[in-house]
Amino acid sequence: MLVQELRSKIDKLRDLFWSGGIANPMAVIEQVSYLIFMKRLEDMDIVHQHGAERRKERYRRSTTSARIVGMSGSDLSPA
């Protein structure tokens, strides 16, 4: 991804947090870090699930039933 594209996406995300009432830059960084962590955890869970399916083993998810893949920012924020 190009630097300008990444910067644009980060600016849009920051604007979403700002419009949602989170104006403190450190709070935004904290929330983005949390979302990245949860996304990575979910991605790894999917990889392990597919491995278990190939081995015909039962798999128990390490995360809750909540999924963030394909969700918009408004879906992720509390109403």
Structural domain spans, the chain? 10-71
Kindly report, residue by residue over 7-37, the tens digit of the pLDDT. 998 889 889 999 989 889 899 889 889 888 9
Name the residue type at position 73: G
Answer whether 0.85 is exceeded by the pTM: no
Contacts of 69 (CB under 8 A, 6+ apart): 39, 42
Q: How far is CA 73 from CA 7, 36, 46, 61, 64, in A?
A: 18, 13, 21, 24, 19
Res. 78: pLDDT tops 60: no
Better pLDDT: 36 or 62: 36
